[in-house]
Structure 1
Amino acid sequence: MQWTGLNELREKYLSFFESKGHLRLKSFPLIPQNDKSLLLINSGMAPMKKYFTGEITPPSKRVTTCQKCIRTPDIERVGKTARHGTYFEMLGNFSFGDYFKHEATAWAWEFCTKVLKLPVDRIWVSIYEDDDQAFDIWTKEVGVSPDRIVRLGKEDNFWEHGTGPCGPCSELYFDRGEEYGCGSPTCGVGCDCDRYVEFWNLVFTQFDSDGKGNYTPLDHPNIDTGMGLERLACIMQGVHNLFEVDTVQNIMKHVSRIANVHYGDSEKTDVSLRVITDHIRSTVFMIGDGVMPSNEGRGYVLRRLLRRAARHGRLLGIHEPFLSEVADTVILENRDAYPELAEKSVLIKKLILVEETSFGKTIDQGLAMLDTAVENLSGDTLSGEDAFKLYDTYGFPLDLTMDILEEKGLKVDEETFDRLMKEQRERARASRKAATAEAWAGTRSVLADCPATVFTGYEGTETTGKVLAIVREGELSEAVSEGEALVVLDRTSFYAESGGQVSDSGVLTLDGMTFRVFGCFKTATGVFVHRGTIESGVLSVGDTVTASVDKERRLAIMRNHTGAHLLQAALRKVLGDHVEQAGQMVTEQTVRFDFTHFSSLTPEELQDVEQMVNEVILSAMPVQTREMPIAEAKAMGAMALFGEKYGDVVRVVKAGDFSIELCGGTHVDNTAKLGLFKILSEASVASGVRRIEAVTGAGVLDYMNHLNGLLHSTAAALKVPNVEDLPQKASQAMTEGKAKDKEIAALNSRIAQIRIDGLFAGAEVIEGIHIVSALFSGTGPDALRAICDQVKDMRDDTVIVVAGTLGDKATIAASCGKQAVKKGAHAGNLVRAVAKIAGGSGGGRPDTAMAGAKDLTKLDEALEAVSSIVNDMINK
């Protein structure tokens, strides 16, 4: 066999199966499409489940792909070993009821031995222990020697997930040689050592399982294969692990240059190099497919990977953001196969930089939290709860926490930490298990036999359609005379909610029958389902009804949707090409548009965007929509939805020369029909994602009337006859308010001084430190803090604790002068101990701290304990 690069291997595989009549599909996005059972695509077949179940007709009965995948269950082990990674590519060839075992095995053997020229004497085959048919095919048809075939049990060689399609597997192994073995005389296929590497799994999906041990043969069995591209590259390049594969190694070399370390110098730095290399690959591809950092779901996976990579950068001595620079190499190594990475490079790098910079501050906060936890230790062991909080909140793995504690002669409660980690994993595992069970659910939908609906809503708001199905309480019904129901027509003018645009509403009518439609949704097979309630008469299957959309509501939605397109174009012109749609919701009232940007918009930028959109509206540009091949649309510069997958033919919406986008929604035919455009608000919704809410048409008039009402009510409240005089009156009120604030502050200062003068008369002295405590009724936190600050500034040999009540609330403040702190006094620990007596809690720095108290009856008792607590601190 000959050394072959990873990118070349990918092309060899896909080209080979194209020659066998397979349709080559591009990798599906990492974000699952219409599948809530997965956070991220984790296998080659995952995005094609509905092809296997028959819920959706595949574009061809023979398909081949190289699928981007992310798996994170073993994220803590990534880096510690060279085996584990989160991102990988899965090669696959699939048959949807076409060919089966004979062809799958023959082609696998042909590709391995004829195309890759793997030595036959180093290839082994495993089969399911009861699959005699596979044994005969491999030995009698393919020509594999029987002594190179191993039978394995159900756990290893039978693919099954709950209920649904399943079947036996046959796997191909490569013998890497004795030097990779464990030395055991029984070492062979199935051994845990690194000698025999499983690199291709052929799944023969031939049964339907009911989950109770009963297996019914499928009328049309399927083939689902998977081969890890990186694992195959390891074999073809003769390297030990995926981190030594050419494209991956080039990424690692970039990290090494920045850190000035070399892979193989030490195990400690090797771990960090592997973590960074793997995680930056994952994050670049995830962002390229539309994943945005957040604190939940797939966004949290992305954030966690980025933070783990950044922390390992610090362990290598890199204290400045560097991951966005390494992203250049990831894009360079993969741009031929995945051109979207180059197209999104500005956004990918910017987002990584923002997130890494933010984590730089977060990790400092985590270190501060750890320092505080150490200061409050009563022994030499950090609690497992604190260690887990550091891990879960700030991304501190246990080993980092242990390293820091070891330097201080401390340790951590690993048992409790492990228990909390186990509980978290079990919750995640249960969630994944439930998701897997749901993955095949709903495939026998009551609407499975309905043909795709013909949508006429682009041409008009009214049409006639035949009732194909009525569903009530999950069951098919022949008719409906009362209550709610779901109705399917063969043709409809109702837009089904999708692409961020809400569905239409309206009525279905026929000879005295009225069915009020509240909403409309679309199934994966293109069936439009009208949700509503019967208002009069009887609706039956087979009736031909008139479907009438609420025209005024539709027009308002259309204005706002076209407004969203103009808004995106204006944002890109004002802010830059990194702006991408990250989500939208278009209703009849407003347009809510989420987009990628990394800081709040200035008033000038908002004004520029708004003015630009209104200029386009007033220019009365024609809005044209037409279908065309996606290649032609992209050549025209059409904007695509970030992370979305499109078919070969797309619908393009073009507003003059100002905006051109791929969109399946409804739009006005001229920008002038928007009337006006007004931005209501701009805010952050996630890291690197901003949101603008705006209105068009009548919505602008409603907003203007609302503002006018506010102006007049405000003028009346301030007793201003004319609203034009409001600015002057408001300025005057502000000036008067500031003057009164200064007067109140001066009075508080005088009151504090008067109180302070009387405090020292009864001060107790311990080891040269004056201890003062007092209770003041009708005194809030600000006044208490002022008293403490003045005492601390006046005398550095003083500890003061003052409590105050204001209504039913109590506050305790404490401060310690420099001399007192040197002798062991700590305001944070002191106020915490005092507040605890009164049922409260709090803390702070050694020199100043605040706390709250719940039991006002115990404040005197709490203050009496101050001297004793301070005495213990000083004499400890």
Structure 2
Amino acid sequence: DNVGKTARHHTFFEMLGNFSVGDYFKEDAIKWGLELLTDPKWFGFPVEKLYMTYYPDDLEARDIWIRNGIKADHLIPREDNFWEIGPGPCGPDTEIYFDRGEKYDKRGKELIEQDLENERYIEIWNIVFSQYNSKVGLSRENYPELPNKNIDTGAGLERFTCVIQQVETNFETDLFMPTIKHVVAISKVKYEGQMAFKVIADHIKALVFAISDGAMLSNEGRGYVLRRLLRRAVKYGRKLNLTEPFLYLLVDDVVSTMGVFYKNLNDTKDIVKKIVFKEEQKFLETINDGEKHLLDAIEKEGKVISGVTAFKLYDTYGFPIELTLEYAQENDVVVDEKAFYEELEKQKQRSRSARSNKGSMKAQEEAYLNFVEPSKFVGYTTLQTEAKVIKVFDQGIVLDETPFYATSGGQVADQGTINGLKVTDVSKLPNGQFLHQVEEGAFEEGDEVLAIVDPYERLRTIRNHSAAHLFHQSVKDNFGKHANQQGSQVSPKSWRFDFNHYETESEEQILKVEALVKHYIHEKPLDVIIREMPLEEAKQYGAMALFGEKYHDIVRVVDMGWSKELCGGTHVKNTREIVDFAITSYESIGSGIYRMEGVTGTDVIQQVKGFLEPLYNELETLYDKVNKMEVNVNIPEQPEIIGSYQDIINMRHYVIEIKELIKEKEKELSRMKQQDVLQRLDDFIDDLDSKNQVIVMQDIDSKVLKQLMDALYDKIKAETLFIVNIQDGKATFLCKSSKDQAGNLVKLAATLTSGSGGGRPNMAQGGTQDLTHLDEAIETIRKSL
């Protein structure tokens, strides 16, 4: 919230520093720091412009400053000058401030003494002397000293730059001005220190660095922080009359400024621009709609926007509560935040009650938590083992060792039997043992059992799991390194993979992803090597780790050469064992999250046909429609199924082609019927000389009826013509009259037949579904003519 309001607050900044672990300490750190700041060879700051704070008990630091030429009245003791975060290394620190002069504040060093927010004294450096070991239960004066003392410092680049370049704020430095000048150019608004320019320049810099580093915008965690930054920048852009996407244009400015030192920004620039543009475009649609409703609410509700209204803006229109609060502040009204969060919690409760809580309830059961006897998984090397039952629970049994893989890491549990009884599920207990749910039968602790995993189902599962790894790498190669796994499931039946991406890809791109996986199965099969190593070593080795996932100190790396991932699942030994691979579906499942599903194995073609079943069913309906048409329709041959996403594409296009063909034939048939009817006018007329007639006809297409009316009316040079068309057990009335009685005649017929109708005096229509009194009605109309 302070970004843009103060001279120096940022959401993304660069922290410089110098560090020592058991080497130089307080004396040298202070001496060398002052030399860097004041020596003309380096920064050349006037020593009289510098003020230092120190911890009151750390008289050693104060005396070192004085010995190095700092006057005593420039040294300020402060109780908060002690760096401590829980148990462990800690110690006093000394902060260095630069005095920018009375221009920024008439008050003097009391601003530092009282820690008051100001623009005069800028903290440029903090040196922490880690010399004590904080321990729970000890007061600070009793902390033991560390055997090896450390130096930890922090110095903000933006603040240094501001002081060195002698500008008003960090934002006027060459770190931000290229971006601000670009905003001036596209907004046509002169920069005079407005907050909007500063917020935009700060936020786009944070977005570029974070997205380049692989972060994605989302509705939770770090992704939501980024989404809020982008939305806030967009909102401030509107204050500069920027109502179209513009942030993506500023990516080039950040990269030009920072890319010399951070080379990866150049490599990811185009992807970052696409991501920012898509998100910006989407949010502008949201903000336009939500802003209108919010301003209406402000007008109607007065000084307080209710929590219900704020929640409706959030839930229905996607308008973030943060923006509602900012708009409210600007319009001098308040939001009932407490009521908003109460509404939000109600929604969460509704969501929770709608979900099954079976898993979470099990995990919390005291019996599971208290069970600590170890159990060994041997399923990596064998599918069958003799084991002993070490625990019996109401929901299943635990064995001392088991070949059954328990559901975890996206891989479903193995199928098989224990003593010939079917195992229906295997899950992990809180302390790592596997709980086997068995279909029937009784077991007791100490029983000797034979556990056998179904080898066919395991084979199908490992094919899908290894294929999912290949798929993940193919997505990264084709869509970009930012496309990370967001969820997965592998089972004997299929694989499913969720990943983040900034746009919907074309059919051609999906086929490229599939083709690359097929390449490493058919043309260039890869050995799958399992390695165990420390987590940090695995990361250096290049193994992909999932963000937010918890790993043990020793991890399992599934190494396919082209693909390396941390994974505890079961896999093939060589990718040729996957046999074949096909993607069967692709869809967006949320903002920036996409899902693909597919199949593997020896029967991929048959499996793909299974996924095409809905299209086959639709085709049967279309074929039936074709067979009932009164014209010949040449149906093109169905595409051959080859076991690929191409089949899904081809069949979708084929269904569309058949629909279009039927549509054209229906138009052609309608034209033929129309021409036929219009060529047979005399067949409908009994008396060419009568100017007032009722004509009854059968099964005339409704699309032709109006034209037929006009043609007959002109043919007999009628004054009033009343047509009754009987079709599918219903009667349609149509009347045209030069005597201005059409509407009344149709209403009369409708009344007599319990129908409905009406219209203008010269043209009217109606109808009925009750033909019981139709003949009497027709006779009555004839008599009235």
Same fold (TM over 0.5): yes
Distance in 1 (CA, whole Å) between partners of 2:486 and 2:463 is 18
8 Å CA contact 2:463–2:577 kept in 1: the answer is yes
In the TM superposition, residue 551 of structure 1 has moved relative to its aligned partner by: 6.1
Are 2:173 and 1:255 aligned? Answer: no
The verdict on how the C-alpha distance between 1:547 and 1:147 changes in structure 2, with shifts beyond 3 A counting, is farther
Q: Please name the residue that 1:813 is paired with.
A: none
Structure 2 equivalent of residue 416 of structure 1: 334
How does 1:237-316 map onto structure 2 within 5 Å? 237-263=165-191, 265=192, 267=193, 270-316=194-240
SS of residue in 1 equivalent to 2:14: strand
Could you tell me how far 1:280 is from its partner in structure 2? 0.4
Farther off after superposition, 278-287 or 253-262: 253-262
User: Which whole-Å CA distance do the structure 2 matches of 1:530 and 1:228 have between them?
Assistant: 49
For residue 583 of structure 1, the aligned residue among 486, 505, 517 is 486
Aligned 8 A contact 1:487 1:529 in 2: no
**Does the 8 Å contact 2:405/2:426 carry over to 1?**
no
- Residue 678 of structure 1: CA displacement? 2.8
1:274: Cα distance to partner? 0.3
Change (3 A) 1:485 1:714: closer
Match for 2:14 among 89, 101, 104?
89
Of the candidates 122, 127, 142, which is equivalent to residue 197 of structure 1? 122
Partner of residue 642, structure 2: none
Determine whether 1:178 maps to 2:101: yes
| Structure 1 residues 183 and 507: alpha-carbon distance in aligned structure 2, compared to 1, 3 A threshold | farther
User: Would the alpha carbon gap of residues 687 and 107 (structure 1) be closer, same or farther in structure 2, given more than 3 Å must change?
Assistant: farther
Q: Of the two, which has the highest radius of gyration? A: 2
Say whether the 8 Å CA contact 2:503–2:592 is kept in structure 1. Answer: yes
Alignment partner of 1:697 out of 597, 601, 622: 601
CA contact (8 A) 2:199 2:233 kept: yes
- How far residue 343 of structure 1 moved from its aligned partner, in angstroms, is 3.3
| Root-mean-square deviation over aligned CA pairs | 6.5
Residue 80 of structure 1 aligns with an amino acid whose one-letter code is K
Give runs of aligned pairs for residues 454-853 of structure 1, distance below 5 A: 460-461=381-382, 501-502=410-411, 518-519=426-427, 529-532=432-435, 555-568=459-472, 570-571=474-475, 577=480, 580-588=483-491, 589-603=493-507, 605-607=509-511, 609-610=513-514, 613-614=517-518, 616-619=520-523, 621-625=525-529, 653-654=559-560, 659-661=562-564, 663-664=566-567, 667-697=571-601, 700=604, 703=607, 706=610
Q: Are the equivalent residues in 1 in contact too, given 2:30–2:65 (CA < 8 A)?
A: no
Kindly state the Cα deviation for residue 692 of structure 1 after the two structures are TM-superposed.
0.8
Give SS of 1:317's match.
coil
One-letter code aligned to 1:692? M
Separation in 2 of the partners of 1:422 and 1:241? Answer: 39
- The verdict on how the C-alpha distance between 1:111 and 1:534 changes in structure 2, with shifts beyond 3 A counting, is farther
Q: Give the match for residue 361 of structure 2.
A: none
Distance 1:194 1:425 in 2: 39
Q: Secondary structure at 2:573's aligned position in 1?
A: coil
Worse-matched range after superposition: 213-222 or 343-352 = 213-222
* Preserved contact between residue 306 and residue 340 of structure 2 (Cα < 8 Å): no
Cα deviation, 1:271-304, whole Å, max 9, x if unaligned, reads: 1110110110121122223332233443332222
Aligned position for 2:4: 79
Offset, 1:748: 13
Cα distance in 2, alignment partners of residues 546 and 736 from structure 1: 66
Deviation at 1:669, TM superposition (A): 3.3
Contact 1:582 1:595 survives alignment (8 Å): yes
**d(CA) in 1 for partners of 2:434, 2:141:** 37
CA separation of 1:371/1:141 partners in 2, compared to 1, >3 Å: closer, same or farther? closer
Cα distance in 1 for partners of 2:393, 2:66 equals 64
* Deviations, residues 780-830 of structure 1 (Å, cap 9, x unaligned): xxx9xx99xx99xx9xxxxxxxxxxxxxxxxxxxxxxxxxxxxxxxxxxxx
Provide the rounded CA distance (Å) in 1 between the counterparts of 2:481 and 2:89. 44
Task: Check 1:516–1:308 CA distance in 2 against 1; reply closer, same or farther (3 A cut).
Answer: same
Gaps of 5+ in 2: 39-44, 346-368, 628-634, 639-653, 671-698, 707-729, 737-741, 748-753, 764-785
Alignment of 1:121-136 (within 5 A): 122-129=49-56, 132=57, 134-136=58-60
**Separation of aligned partners in 2, 1:333 and 1:353:** 20
Structure 1 counterpart of 2:99, one-letter code = R
After TM superposition, give the deviation of residue 147 of structure 1 in Å: 5.6
SS in 2 for 1:622: coil
Q: Which amino acid aligns with 1:583?
A: Q
One-letter amino acid matched to 2:174: D
Question: How much has 1:612 moved relative to structure 2?
Answer: 5.3
Contact 1:584 1:591 (8 Å CA) reproduced = no
- Which residue among 134, 149, 161 is the counterpart of 1:207? 134
- Partner Cα distance (1:736, 1:136) in 2: 97
Shift of 1:552: 5.5
Q: Secondary structure at the match of 2:119?
A: coil
- Quick one: distance in 2 between partners of 1:219 and 1:157? 15
Task: State the distance in 2 between where 1:530 and 1:123 align.
Answer: 62
Aligned partners of 2:295 and 2:539: how far apart in 1?
54
Query: For residues 83 and 320 of structure 1, what CA distance do their matches in structure 2 show?
Result: 29
Query: What is the SS of the residue equivalent to 1:679?
Result: strand
Deviations 1:653-704 (A, max 9, x none): 446xxx4455556542333211222323211133343221222227847845
**CA separation in 2, counterparts of 1:701 and 1:562?**
19
The aligned amino acid for 2:98 is D
- Of the structure 1 ranges 289-298 and 661-670, higher mean CA displacement relative to structure 2 is found in 661-670
TM superposition shift of 1:311: 2.9
- In structure 1, C-alpha distance between the alignment counterparts of 2:732 and 2:128, rounded to whole Å: 81
Aligned residues: 614
Change (3 A) 1:230 1:693: same
Report percent identity of matched pairs: 28
Between the two structures, name the one with larger relative contact order (CA 8 Å, sep ≥ 6).
Answer: 1
Structure 1 distance, partners of 2:75, 2:546, is 47
CA distance in 2, matches of 1:272, 1:621: 55
Gaps of 5+ in 1: 1-73, 404-411, 429-446, 468-478, 510-514, 523-527, 540-544, 762-777, 795-876
Alpha carbons 2:134, 2:140 under 8 Å: kept = no
Paired with 1:731 and 1:253, the residues of 2 have a C-alpha distance of: 54
TM-superposition CA deviations, 1:805-861 (whole Å, max 9, x none)? xxxxxxxxxxxxxxxxxxxxxxxxxxxxxxxxxxxxxxxxxxxxxxxxxxxxxxxxx
Aligned to 1:617, the other structure's residue is in SS state coil
Quote how far apart the aligned CAs of 1:85 are. Answer: 2.2
Separation (CA, whole Å) in 1 of partners of 2:163 and 2:271:
35
Given the superposition, is the C-alpha separation of residues 257 and 649 from structure 1 closer, same or farther in structure 2, using an over 3 Å criterion?
Answer: farther
Q: 1:438 corresponds to which residue?
A: none
Quote the offset at 1:351 in angstroms. Answer: 0.4
Alignment of 1:10-29 (within 5 A): none
Q: CA deviation at 1:577?
A: 4.3
TM-score by length of structure 1 reads 0.53
Deviations 1:349-380 (A, max 9, x none): 11001111222322332354357668xx6798
CA contact (8 A) 1:517 1:530 kept: no
> What is the CA–CA distance in structure 1 between the aligned matches of 2:198 and 2:660, rounded to whole Å?
60
Please give the secondary structure, in 2, of the residue aligned with 1:529. coil
For the residues of structure 1 that align with 2:473 and 2:297, how far apart are their CA atoms?
50
Contact in 1 for aligned 2:586/2:597 (Cα 8 Å) = yes
Q: Which residue of 1 aligns with 2:289?
A: 365
Q: Deviations over 1:293-320 (max 9, x none)?
A: 2334433322222122123233323344
C-alpha spacing 1:596/1:125, structure 2 compared with 1 (3 Å): same
Deviation at 1:426, TM superposition (A): 14
